[in-house]
Structure 1
Amino acid sequence: MKPTDRSGRGRHAKLVGAGIALTAVPAAIYYAAAGYAGVGPDYLGLGLGPGPHPYMHAGSEASASLDMLRAARSVAAAHGSRFDRRVMVTGFSQGGAAAMALGRELQRGADPYLRLGALAPVSGPYDLRHAQIPASLTSRTTLAPKASVFYLAYITVSWGRLYDLYDSPSKVFESPYDKFVEGLFDGTKDQDTQIMPQLPNTPIELLTPRYRRWLLHPSGPLLRAIRSSDGTCDWRPRVPVRLFAGSGDEQVAHTNTLSCMQALRAHGAEPQFVDYGPGTAHMDSLTRGVPDTLNWFQSLK
Structure 2
Amino acid sequence: MQKSIRILPIKYLSFLLLWSLLILNSCNDDNNNPVPPAEENVYLKESTSIKTLTKAQILQNAGDLAAFVSGYVKNDVKVYKITYKTKNTDGADITASGALIVPVATTPVSMISVQHGTIRNGSEAPSIFNDNTEAALFGSIFGSMGYIIAYPDYIGYGASQDLPHPYEHRASLASASLDMLRAAKEYLKGQTDIKWDEKLYVAGYSEGGFATMSLQRKIEEEASSEFNLRASSCGAGAYDKTAFMKYIINSKTDGVAGYNSLYLWVLLTYDRIYKLNKPASYYFTEKYASQIAASGINTSISESFHLSLNDSFKKALNDGTDKGFIDAIADNDVYKFKPKTPTRLYHGTADPLVFFFNSENAFNAMQKAGATNVEFIKVPGGTHSSSIYTFLLGTLDFFTKTP
Distance 2:293 2:195 in 1: 44
Shift of 1:200: 3.2
Q: 1:265 to 1:201 in 2, by over 3 A?
A: same
Higher Cα Rg, which structure: 2
Q: 1:90 to 1:216 in 2, by over 3 A?
A: farther
Query: What is aligned with 1:273?
Result: 376
Pair 1:44-2:184 in alignment: no
Moved more, 103-112 or 34-43: 103-112
Question: What secondary structure, in the 3-state scheme, does the structure 2 residue paired with 1:108 have?
Answer: helix
Distance 2:380 2:237 in 1: 16
Distance 1:55 1:276 in 2: 26
Which of 178, 192, 208 matches 1:95? 208
Distance 2:202 2:105 in 1: 25
Q: Any idea what the Cα deviations from partners look like across 1:121-152, whole Å, max 9, x if unmatched?
A: 0011110112x2233234455x5553552232
Q: 1:129 to 1:117 in 2, by over 3 A?
A: same
Query: What is aligned with 2:231?
Result: 118
Distance 1:258 1:234 in 2: 13
Question: What secondary structure, in the 3-state scheme, does the structure 2 residue paired with 1:199 have?
Answer: coil
Question: What secondary structure, in the 3-state scheme, does the structure 1 residue paired with 2:202 have?
Answer: strand
Shift of 1:4: 9.5
Which of 356, 365, 368 matches 1:263? 365
Question: What secondary structure, in the 3-state scheme, does the structure 2 residue paired with 1:59 have?
Answer: helix
Matched to 1:168, the amino acid is: P
Question: What secondary structure, in the 3-state scheme, does the structure 2 residue paired with 1:85 have?
Answer: strand
TM-score of the two chains, using structure 1 as the length reference: 0.85
Which of 94, 98, 113 matches 1:15? 113
CA contact 2:110–2:198 (8 Å) conserved in 1 = no
Pair 1:162-2:273 in alignment: yes
Distance 2:103 2:289 in 1: 53
CA contact 1:136–1:148 (8 Å) conserved in 2 = no
Pair 1:238-2:340 in alignment: yes
Matched to 1:273, the amino acid is: F
Shift of 1:11: 1.6
Pair 1:128-2:241 in alignment: yes
Q: 1:214 to 1:31 in 2, by over 3 A?
A: farther
Matching of residues 1-301 of structure 1 within 5 Å: 7=106, 9-20=107-118, 24-25=134-135, 26-49=137-160, 50-80=162-192, 81-110=194-223, 112-130=225-243, 132-139=244-251, 141=253, 145-182=256-293, 184-185=295-296, 195=298, 198-218=300-320, 219-230=322-333, 232-270=334-372, 271-278=374-381, 280-301=382-403
Q: 1:216 to 1:274 in 2, by over 3 A?
A: same
Q: Any idea what the Cα deviations from partners look like across 1:216-251, whole Å, max 9, x if unmatched?
A: 455421122112211x22222222111111101010
Distance 1:212 1:30 in 2: 45
Shift of 1:184: 4.0
Matched to 1:229, the amino acid is: N
Matched to 1:214, the amino acid is: A
Q: Greater strand share, 1 or 2?
A: 2
Moved more, 145-154 or 283-292: 145-154
Matched to 1:52, the amino acid is: P
Distance 1:35 1:164 in 2: 44
Distance 1:223 1:110 in 2: 29
Matched to 1:120, the amino acid is: S
Matched to 1:159, the amino acid is: Y
Matched to 2:342, the amino acid is: P
Question: What secondary structure, in the 3-state scheme, does the structure 2 residue paired with 1:244 have?
Answer: strand
What do you get for the CA RMSD once the two structures are aligned?
Answer: 2.5
Shift of 1:30: 2.3
Distance 1:107 1:234 in 2: 13
Matched to 2:143, the amino acid is: A
Shift of 1:29: 2.0
- Which segments of 5 or more consecutive residues in structure 2 lack a partner in the other structure? 1-101, 125-132
Matched to 1:20, the amino acid is: T
Q: Any idea what the Cα deviations from partners look like across 1:14-72, whole Å, max 9, x if unmatched?
A: 11112215865133222112111111112222333131112221110100101111222
Bigger RCO (CA 8 Å, 6+ sep): 1
Q: 1:126 to 1:45 in 2, by over 3 A?
A: same
Matched to 1:276, the amino acid is: V
- Which segments of 5 or more consecutive residues in structure 1 lack a partner in the other structure? 187-194
Matched to 2:323, the amino acid is: G
Q: 1:91 to 1:98 in 2, by over 3 A?
A: same
